[in-house]
Amino acid sequence: MPIEKFTGVHEDPFESYRDDPALHALPERMTRANIPRPEALLPPREQAFIYAMTLAKNPARVLEIGVCHGGTSRLFHWALEDLGRPLPEGVHVGIDPEPKITVEWDELTRCRLIVGTSPDKLAEATEAAGGAFDLVFVDGDHSPEGVARDLAGVCDVASPGAWILCHDWYNQWVGEGIRLALARRLPLEETGIVTQTENRGWYRPTDSEVSWGGIGILRRLPGAS
Ligand SMILES: C[S@@+](CC[C@H](N)C(=O)[O-])C[C@H]1O[C@@H](n2cnc3c(N)ncnc32)[C@H](O)[C@@H]1O
């Protein structure tokens, strides 16, 4: 039977999205986020994901624990800038005790850097951002206790429903830290791993083979921690 052509297509398919700030994001900006960059310590697919997730969630405030060279902060800046929320919303705050910035940080007008450690600096970060965070990237201390401590601290500064991205989900110590946090009944829900970019490598200090990479997502549940 011949297929009849459907003629009910809306004349202006974008009409209902006119107010969506993501419409102002141009496709080539996504391609820009997908280029391998040594200053973002993430593989290209994870870089593209960070940009796309930020664009999709249109967060008011982003927190990054562990900034290092600043390459991922720049991805957050690009997405926040492309979304164009009027300031003081659409901002990013990064925390790192020993940042090694190689990007043009002065141009990242939506980013603030706090030199110090998480979780000690989380209250200061919240003040700098002007409120609770709705998107968080945890990529600082990779020890089990360090990750669990960061996640406990994040629960105090993230809004209910906030998206908490954990980098190096495949790393044994990070995985253990996430398990510890969940076992301690923090108000977190595991939603699964979204970028499955596992890198296997040799870790010199312990002479052991470890895995890195992978971004998994937790959500901050409503309620006290
Ligand atoms: C893997 S790098 C971060 C990479 C960065 N997020 C990126 O994607 O390009 C880890 C960083 O975490 C920082 N760090 C270690 N312990 C930390 C802590 N307790 N709080 C915040 N940052 C920490 C280190 O100084 C280091 O620069």
Domain of residue 203, residue span:
24-220
pTM over 0.75, yes/no: yes
- Secondary structure of the chain in HEC code, one letter for each residue: CCCCCCCCCCCCCCHHHCCCHHHHCCHHHHHHHCCCCCCCCCCHHHHHHHHHHHHHHCCCEEEEECCCCCHHHHHHHHHHHHHCCCCCCCEEEEEECCCCCCCCHHHCCCEEEEECCCCCCHHHHHHHHCCCEEEEEECCCCCHHHHHHHHHHHHHHEEEEEEEEEECCCCHHHHHHHHHHHHCCCCEEEEEEEECCCEEEEEHHHCEEEEECCEEEEEECCCCC
How far, in Å, is the centroid of ligand 1 from the Cα of 20? 33
- How distant is the alpha carbon of residue 181 from its chain centre? 18
> Is 16 a member of any domain?
no
> Is 83 a member of any domain?
yes
> Is 107 a member of any domain?
yes
> Is 2 a member of any domain?
no
> Is 1 a member of any domain?
no
How far, in Å, is the centroid of ligand 1 from the Cα of 38? 15
Determine if ligand 1 sits within 6 Å of the CB of residue 90: no
Determine if ligand 1 sits within 6 Å of the CB of residue 71: yes
> Is 3 a member of any domain?
no
> Is 56 a member of any domain?
yes
**Mutation probe of ligand 1 site: the residue of 46, 49, 68, 212 with most atoms within 8 A of C-beta:** 68
Q: Assign residue 108 the CATH number of its domain.
A: 3.40.50.150
The number of distinct structural domains making up the chain is 1
> Is 6 a member of any domain?
no
Q: What is the pLDDT along the chain (225 residues), one digit of tens a residue?
A: 788 877 766 666 666 666 666 666 666 777 777 677 778 888 888 998 999 899 889 999 999 999 999 999 999 999 999 888 899 999 999 999 999 999 999 999 999 999 999 999 999 999 999 999 999 999 999 999 999 999 999 999 999 999 999 999 999 999 999 999 999 999 999 999 998 888 888 777 778 888 999 999 999 998 776
How far, in Å, is the centroid of ligand 1 from the Cα of 145? 15
